[in-house]
Amino acid sequence: MVQRAPALFLADTPGLDFLNSIATPADTRIDWIEDGEGLLAWLEQAALVSHGTLASLRGQAMPGELDAIAAQARSLREEFRTFVGAHKGRPLDAEALAELAPLNRLLARDEGYLQLTAEENGNAPAVALRATRRWRSPESLLLPLAEALARSVSQEDFSDVKACEGPACTLLFADHTRGRVRRWCSMAICGNRAKQAAHRNRARRSPDTTDT
């Protein structure tokens, strides 16, 4: 199995984290869902599908089926990236809904239902109502991705959706900071690079004070 670096979850919303499943965090582009196993690993890291469900669906899959589903996931990712690129930075209006028809068709395939479950509440169990779904085939792995994208559309103010200002960075995020001043995908990645670049620029501009 190919060993991949841990996926990046910097967007502050799962739908945009899915778009960020392809990125260049250092010098090499990484696509965390370039194949079926990558898709399973990303879904587990994102906590969108449980380990047990993923193991069950892996066992059901025909040869090459998971790779084909990963290809569908990449197509969904790029279609939604186009949508976000066209609408980020301003509120969505009702006209944008027409562009989301393919996503609505995918959501309509879901077999979700509500289930009463026991949850720990202090020292005593409490009853909670949870949404779950029937995982009838490996293709159902597309459904939590569609749900994450739909939640980003319905719950995020697209005025707060930004692209990282790093010159070579492709990462997107929802800016939830006070004053909406976030500029970077991460201070540890692009923010630090910007600081280093600014320091080099200042050093070049400063007068030579060496004694002669």
Rounded Cα–Cα distance for residues 152 and 161 (Å): 10
pLDDT digits (tens, 9 = 90+) for 142-194: 999 999 999 999 999 999 999 999 888 899 999 999 999 999 998 888 877 75
**Model pTM score:** 0.86
Under the banding of pLDDT at 50, 70 and 90, the label for residue 27 is: confident
Mean pLDDT over 94-104 rounds to: 94
Helix (H) or strand (E) holding 19: helix 14-19
* CB hemisphere CA count around 204 (13 angstroms): 6
d(CA 209, CA 21): 48
Q: What does the pLDDT look like over 190-206, one tens digit per residue?
A: 877 756 655 456 666 66
Report whether 33 contacts 74 (CB < 8 A).
yes
Say which residue, 205 or 93, is predicted with more confidence: 93
| Residue 90, pLDDT above cutoff 90 | yes
DSSP 62: P
pLDDT of residue 116: 92
Q: Where are the alpha helices (DSSP H) in 46-190?
A: 51-60, 65-87, 101-107, 142-155
For the chain, which residues make up each domain, given as ranges? 14-91+100-107+145-205
CATH for 14-91+100-107+145-205?
A: 1.10.3300.10
pLDDT band at 5, cuts 50/70/90? confident
Q: What is the pLDDT of residue 195?
A: 66
Is residue 198 within a helix (H) or strand (E), and if so which, with residue range?
A: helix 192-205
| Mean per-residue pLDDT over the chain, rounded | 89
Q: Residue 166's closest CA among 201, 195, 194? A: 194
| pLDDT tops 50 at residue 210 | no
